[in-house]
């Protein structure tokens, strides 16, 4: 996989949305490189009783992107069924530690891929002015779609940092055996 180090418009997307797609693609490619070849036990590893696993963080990344698809394109919250599917991954914590384990890397990569395909279809259907559309949270604070998708980017970057830290702890733990 060759990672691009340029933010440029992407063919088949309007200019700003194409730039956003380039950023989404770059961030995902780096995440995929970082987790390539992890075993199920690597994905389930938790440094201590209160930490998250790499698998739960990967599913969290997918869940945040899914939520932002809904909020930005349908201007709604999750349905009950959607919430049931994504609850553990969204909230992390004790429930995620209980629920999110025992999956292969292929499982997590498939979840990330499926969500991303929907994102790309959604973004392909939008024009740049959609990014600037303003809405308000329930507390009256304004936001726009550009911010929502910036948040998707920052979530993945932040959690990738956590994944890298967990991988260092895992390597240190393995070298002490």
According to DSSP, the residues that pair with 134 across neighbouring strands are 144
Q: Could you give all domains of the chain from N- to C-terminal order, each with its CATH number?
A: 15-170 (1.20.120.450)
Cβ-based neighbour number of residue 149 at 10 Å: 22
Q: Tell me the C-alpha distance between 78 and 163, whole Å.
A: 27
Q: Decide if pLDDT at 173 tops 90.
A: no
Q: Decide if pLDDT at 3 tops 90.
A: no
Residue 1's nearest CA partner among 41, 51, 42, 37 is 37
Q: For residue 83, what pLDDT is reported?
A: 96
Give the chain's mean pLDDT.
94
Q: 175 or 82: whose pLDDT is higher?
A: 82
Q: Decide if pLDDT at 17 tops 80.
A: yes
Q: For residue 143, what pLDDT is reported?
A: 95
Q: What is the 3-state secondary structure (H, E, C) of 3-37?
A: CCCCCCCCCCCCHHHHHHHHHHHHHHHHHHHHHCC
Mean pLDDT over residues 27-45, rounded?
97
Q: Where are the beta strands (DSSP E) in the chain?
A: 134-136, 142-144
Mean pLDDT over residues 9-25, rounded?
95
Q: What kind and span of H or E run contains 119?
A: helix 105-124
Mean pLDDT over residues 32-37, rounded?
96
Q: For residue 119, what pLDDT is reported?
A: 98
Q: Decide if pLDDT at 60 tops 90.
A: yes
Q: For residue 177, what pLDDT is reported?
A: 45
């Amino acid at each position: 996989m060759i990672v691009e180090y340029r933010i440029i418009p992407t063919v088949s997307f309007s200019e700003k949305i194409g730039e956003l797609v380039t950023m989404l693609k770059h961030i995902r490619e780096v995440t995929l490189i970082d987790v390539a070849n992890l075993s199920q036990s690597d994905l389930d590893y938790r440094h201590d009783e209160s930490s998250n696993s790499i698998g739960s963080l990967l599913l969290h990344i997918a869940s945040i992107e899914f939520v932002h698809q809904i909020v930005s394109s349908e201007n709604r919250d999750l349905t009950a069924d959607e919430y049931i599917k994504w609850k553990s991954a969204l909230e992390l914590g004790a429930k995620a530690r209980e629920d999110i384990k025992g999956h292969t890397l292929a499982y997590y990569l498939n979840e990330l891929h499926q969500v991303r395909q929907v994102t790309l279809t959604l973004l392909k259907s939008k024009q740049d002015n959609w990014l600037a559309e303003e809405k308000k949270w329930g507390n009256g604070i304004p936001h726009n779609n550009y911010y929502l998708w910036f948040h998707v980017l920052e979530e993945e970057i932040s959690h990738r940092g956590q994944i890298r830290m967990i991988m260092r702890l895992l390597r240190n733990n393995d070298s002490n055996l």
